Structures are given as C-alpha cells and as structure tokens.
Amino acid sequence: MRTFFFGFIISALLFFGSSYIYQSTAQEVPRTAGEKPSGNDSYSETYRQLNLFGDVFERVRAQYVEEVDDKELVETSINGMLTSLDPHSAYLNADRFKEMQVQTRGEFGGLGIEVTMENGFVKVVSPIDDTPAFQAGVQAGDFITHIDEEPVLGLSLGEAVKKMRGKVGTEIKLEMRREGTEGPINVVIIRDIIQIQSVRHRVEGNAGYIRVTTFSQNSEPGVKKAIAEIKKEIGENLVGFVLDLRNNPGGLLDQAILVSDVFLDKGEIVSTRGRSENDTKRDNATPGDLADGLPIVVLINGGSASASEIVAGALQDHKRAITLGTKSFGKGSVQTVIPMPGHGAVRLTTARYYTPSGRSIQAKGIEPDIFVEQAKIETVSGRRMHESDLRGALDKDKNKEKEKAKKDAANDNKTEDKDAKEGEEEKEKPVDYQLSRALDLLSGLSLYSGNTSGKEPVKTDEPANDPAPVPEEKIIIKEN
C-alpha cells in the first residue's frame, strides 16, 4: 500500500508540475554537464518532504483513534495544501466540481449566498437577490458563527458550505454576528433551488436601470437585451444608464470582460498577470458602444467583488462611467479550475488582475468616485412660505383660481382611480437612497451637456431636506 501511495504522490507531483518543471529546466536552469551535482538538489529535498508526508500518512492510518478512509485522507490533504495558500484555492472532489458547474449555469440548490473564510468564521461576501438568504435579511459582511447550533470555528470553508446545503424545503438555523449590532443575529432559512436571473432591468423616469446580480454564462446577452428594450421603451428621451453591481459576488471572468466591452469602444479592459512575465494577458475592448456614449453611473458596495470589480474598474479608468456607492470587496485574484480526470478538479489562484491604469484591486477594492452610503430617508415636515402668502402680492388672486382648478381636477382623477389603487398601496417600498442619487446624477449630467432640450428630468422619490430661504424684496430706484 505504501509503495502504491508513493507512486500516486510522485505521479501527482509530475502531473501538477510538469509544465512548470519543464519550463524551469528549459529556460532558467543553466547547463551543468561535466559538473559535480550540487548537494542542495531541490528535487532531493522535494522527495524528502514527500517521504515525511508518507510517514505521517501511514502513522495516521495505523494509530488514529478511529479508522479513516484512505481516499478521504488524500483529498483532505490535497485540500489542506491548497487552502493554506489563500482563501480561494481549494480541491473540488467530483461532487463539488459538478455543483460548481451547475452554479455557473445559473441554477443550483442552497441558500443563495456567496461566502469566504475569515478568521475561522464564514464571512458573507454577498447574498444573491431574491434568494432565501436575501429574503431572510442576510447582509454582506455578516459572519456566520453557528450552523444548526454547531460552531463553525474549526471547519474548513468546504465543510461549512456542505453543512449549509441540504434537501430542498428543509430548514437551517444560522447564528451570525454583524458589525455595529450587539449580540448574535439568529435566522431560520428554508433551503430552495436557487434560480439566478443574472440580469434584470427597468425604466426609471428617462433613465435605464440594469441590475447584474452575478456573472454567469447568460450575463452578457442579458445586458445587451436590457439595453435594447430600454432604448425601445424610452426612445430619444433616454438620458443614460445606471449599472447596479451592488452585492454582486463576481463569477466568470470572460463574462465580466464581455459586459465591459458592451459599454467601451476601445482600450484595455483588464490585464491578468501570473507568476512569470510570460503569463501576462491583456483583454481589449472591440469597437461598438451599445449605450451610444450616454452617461453611465455604476453602483458598487462592499458586496461587489471579483468580476464586478473588473467591470467597475474598467469603466472608471476609461472615464466611461462614474462609480457611486461605497468601497468594493477587494478580490483581485483569478482562479483557474483545472479538471483532474477521474477525480474532481483543482481551483487554483493563478494570477492577479489589474485595471487598465495598472491598479491592483487585491485587498484594496475599487474606491467610488462619489462616496454615498445607503441611508434611510425621512421627510422634513413644515410649511414653507411663498410669495403668494405675502399680503398684497401681485397676481395672488389669479394664481389662487388656477390652483383651485388644478386641485379640483386632481380630486376627480383620484376618485376614479381609487378602487384600482387600493390593493397596490398596501405597502410602500422603501426608497433606495443610492439609486436615487445615481438618477439625480444622470439627470444633472444630461442637463449640463444640453442633451435634454424639451425632455423631462429624471424623477426621484427624494424630498428636499433644506428649507428654501424667503427671498428678500428687491427695490429698483429710477432717477429722473
């Protein structure tokens, strides 16, 4: 058994590292024909370390308090090697590899959260829109400390994720900690099939709103379709687009590049730089801006990670869009999934990515051009004084008659629509403050550029908070 195991380790080493070993031998290691072999041979040291691993493996098999499966020992050993490198590298057995493939196609079972491991706890990168976790109030940045009353501390990320998955329709209890909140937060979530609609859109006044929840295989076609339908609905009155990447945990790199290319005419989108200089790759935009040069505002927050940061960084660096919101997550590394025939796959961090200006996002994130935190809006009560309130104001009586006629017409319309609106007004949706600011910005940009002649400005639900001062009386004196 031990001979077989050593053979497995050596063959695995050669399989994983064959390209690197060949490259080093062919390009970096000098010719040593005729020279005495060095006593510090790196290969000898590698085999010595593998021998140590084999000794520990045999000791565990023979003396551990409970009998353990050889396959499980090997898989967890490989996974331990990879997870010790960084939080995103891991070994995927056949089942997990299959689940990952299903996830990138946009449908899978679970809670609907993207997670990572930090300080021994599971950290929520972001909840996915309209999933059980999202509806239960799970937020980006939450730390999951207990799953079904069992502590997470001591588990690997894969083990924690496995515990959170389960049969559709079953309950799971999560205990979480949230910054700024005292005590634990307990939620009960019903597992469900997660069907991700990666792109959604709607019209906001004269602006187009496009929400990208994750970058899966259908993201770029979805964005193109959204732009076409918004253009068709608004027509020539379109003033711009809001691209919402908040709580977007990332996804497929190629989709992030394609979505960026939708809004860019030329220039670099992203560069990925690996271990050696030869591993540098640059992806450039192709001609054709489907937004026709209209202003774009990109919304980001702490849940915007990886692929969404690529899009935000590319549009920001090319001055093609204004980023608004809060600092993004800061995941600037690229993972390559390498299938292992007959087994699973290795998810390995192989490169860092950089924005067109050469910025690394890793552990830094994208800083928005305009910093706007999410906020709750309250209307300031109080009546303001107007010119018509002053005694003896010019045209006061005429304006009163016009206002009365308008109110009478409005009351007639309200009476007719009352029955139709009774069911719709049961619950008023809260105002999305960051989106409102983005729409205000689009309206201002459009007015400033002079592109809205005869067009209505973008309407938002935001009341003004600062009371307007009463204007002073202006007196003109004419000299005879």
pLDDT for 409 equals 64
Confidence category of residue 453, pLDDT binned at 50, 70, 90: very low
Q: Count the Cβ atoms, other than its own, within 10 Å of residue 251.
A: 25
pLDDT tens across 171-228, in order? 999 999 999 898 999 999 999 987 778 999 999 999 999 999 999 988 999 999 999 9
Hey, which residues are catalytic here? 306, 317, 331
Q: Which residues contact 112 (CB under 8 A, 6 or more apart)?
A: 127, 128, 131, 132, 133, 134, 192, 194
- Average of per-residue pLDDT values in the chain: 82
pLDDT tens across 258-298, in order? 999 999 999 999 999 999 988 899 999 999 999 999 999 99
Where is average pLDDT lowest: 17-31, 96-110, 205-219, 380-394?
Answer: 17-31
Average pLDDT over residues 76-104: 87
Judged against a pLDDT cut of 60, whether residue 329 lies above it is answered with yes
392: left (phi over 0), alpha (psi -120 to 50) or beta: left
In order of start, what are the domains of the chain with their CATH numbers?
A: 94-195 (2.30.42.10), 199-371 (3.90.226.10)
Of the candidates 291, 289, 272, the one whose C-alpha atom is nearest the C-alpha of residue 280 is 272
The type of residue at 110 is G
Confidence category of residue 454, pLDDT binned at 50, 70, 90: very low
Residue 204 and residue 298: Cα distance in Å, rounded? Answer: 15
Show the tokens assigned to 415.
């009476």
Confidence category of residue 154, pLDDT binned at 50, 70, 90: confident
Residue 413 and residue 462: Cα distance in Å, rounded? Answer: 24
Q: What DSSP character marks residue 361?
A: -
Judged against a pLDDT cut of 60, whether residue 421 lies above it is answered with no
Confidence category of residue 446, pLDDT binned at 50, 70, 90: confident
Confidence category of residue 477, pLDDT binned at 50, 70, 90: very low
Select the more confidently predicted residue: 423 or 450: 450
pLDDT for 475 equals 37
Q: Are 164 and 192 in contact (CB under 8 A)?
A: no
pLDDT for 405 equals 67
Confidence category of residue 161, pLDDT binned at 50, 70, 90: confident
pLDDT for 427 equals 47
Average pLDDT over residues 373-389: 77
Select the more confidently predicted residue: 390 or 163: 163
Of all residues in the chain, the percent with pLDDT exceeding 70 is 75
Residue 298 and residue 218: Cα distance in Å, rounded? Answer: 20
Of all residues in the chain, the percent with pLDDT exceeding 90 is 56
Of the candidates 200, 290, 308, the one whose C-alpha atom is nearest the C-alpha of residue 238 is 290
Phi, psi of 99 (to 5 degrees): -60, -40
Report the predicted TM-score, pTM, of the whole model to 2 decimal places: 0.71
